[in-house]
Structure 1
């Protein structure tokens, strides 16, 4: 899946679901492309080719160009956009403080249900908070630049809330702990130990490969819909408090999860979620204006390409 496609997939739940999943998609795609290229160069520095077909060598350059063709144009465009955003922010004297970044990161952690859940999702992709934050900062700068001359009234927010009320209502949540394993055999072994009375938290510490949660007995905290792997989400939201899944095959491996608690969906008032409404309203305006704004920056920039990534 290309960077662009990953961002589009994440964007499906963008505005009122988990609006930060698209950043995660970008970070993952950039990491995959760069890691593969680094592996090629440093595991066989003296070798010209990566394979042969009937004696004809497939060179490193050919292979890297293929990787770039799959992920490169979107990834390179993303990096160029970030450079332009930083340059524009510097020109306009706009910055984001450490406090603003941490506040936004706190919001993001909450949008994933909890700190544990957020770290768990990052860990499953081999990512860190720092890598995520690096992609978030230019987005925050762009938001400030786009919004700097725009006034927001309570009337605007109330109308926006009324139009999108169901999106702000609290969705059903589950408090989970889980055990993630590489193989079906390991998962079946873990399931058997649980059936024989082994403590779930102890087993998670001993066997789970999710490094973000294993030391805490597999606890992921509160998780809303749209965060978990779809296969696991479907099962856990059908369970009652205290119930446990059987082995579930997910995109990360094999998982066993236990529902520690549940919160029912709840309708909210404007005053309860006014801050969230304002954030979503700003995000909506930024989303509507971002493409034209960044294209404007590109149109007057001196951009030189030294590679030719394909679409």
Structure 2
């Protein structure tokens, strides 16, 4: 699996995990501070759902996965400390930039969790370092891999865009006038855009790059001419007419061999040892004992 494809998978997993943990913990915390276990969190006619029933259901659905994730995080930190393993801020930042530019996971809403995303990346890199700590890869092999796969380590320029899609040119021009008069782009997208998925997010479609085939080439061409916070004039698209807003931009960057040498070593080493990239590998070493059974994963 290529590095970019790998991070697309990781991005999806991070999003699911973050949402699950946030939902489970925030709701449980909120409930525990405001009501007793037998008080109702909802009523349907004469029937009630108690706080305890609700928390039991949350635990049965998500409890094991959330607890396992928390254990995995602690295991990675403990084993990394044991073997004096660290990853640099530069490595984390490089992977974060690649994730932003290629995974289309950074809409306006979840981009606010940048610190959480970077911590997930740091944990993932730490785990790779732990798994491959004893594997030696020659400089010749490392350099050969880099020379053959240079483009894998390029971060493409990417544009964080929002759009409004309407059926007719007249509707597009009307929306453009309203924007010029101070109307909110997000509000207009929610109200007018016929592209329902993005409309629900205020028109936000996340980051796209020239490699992205989901949107017309004109999106990138238009985005290149915009300043952050500015929006375009209406232009024709397959569904009707579009207006684009540039939320933010990531400049493209090419990384040298020295920048990515350690990343290549980990990647080659992981292919050699053929060990699943999982913290569960170290549960015995970390002496994990948990609610769902001693060392049972």
TM-score by length of 2: 0.60
2:64 corresponds, among 45, 55, 73, to: 73
Instruction: Tell me the distance in 1 between the aligned counterparts of 2:39 and 2:3.
Output: 42
**2:73 matches 1:92:** no
> Is the radius of gyration larger for structure 1 or structure 2?
2
Q: Deviations over 1:111-136 (max 9, x none)?
A: 4239xx99x92641374222223333
Deviation at residue 146 of structure 1 after TM alignment: 1.8
Structure 2 residue runs without a partner (length 5+):
190-202, 223-231, 248-253
The match for 1:83 is 74
Instruction: Tell me the distance in 1 between the aligned counterparts of 2:63 and 2:274.
Output: 25
Q: Deviations over 1:265-299 (max 9, x none)?
A: xxx9xx97785586256246448756476334223
2:291 corresponds, among 282, 300, 305, to: 305
Structure 1 segment 155-194 matched on structure 2, within 5 A: 155-157=140-142, 168=152, 175=159, 177-178=161-162, 191-194=172-175
The match for 2:133 is 148
2:177 corresponds, among 189, 196, 215, to: 196
Decide whether the 8 Å contact of 1:15 with 1:283 is kept in 2: no
The match for 1:35 is 26
Deviation at residue 77 of structure 1 after TM alignment: 0.8
TM-score by length of 1: 0.58
The match for 1:139 is 124
2:100 corresponds, among 93, 112, 115, to: 112
**What is the aligned length?**
260
* 1:63/1:247 CA distance change after superposition, 3 Å: farther
Structure 1 residue runs without a partner (length 5+):
1-10, 210-217, 228-232, 250-254, 261-267
* 1:124/1:50 CA distance change after superposition, 3 Å: same
Instruction: Tell me the distance in 2 between the aligned counterparts of 1:171 and 1:101.
Output: 17
Instruction: Tell me the distance in 1 between the aligned counterparts of 2:185 and 2:219.
Output: 23
**2:187 matches 1:235:** no
Instruction: Tell me the distance in 1 between the aligned counterparts of 2:84 and 2:150.
Output: 38
Instruction: Tell me the distance in 1 between the aligned counterparts of 2:30 and 2:237.
Output: 33
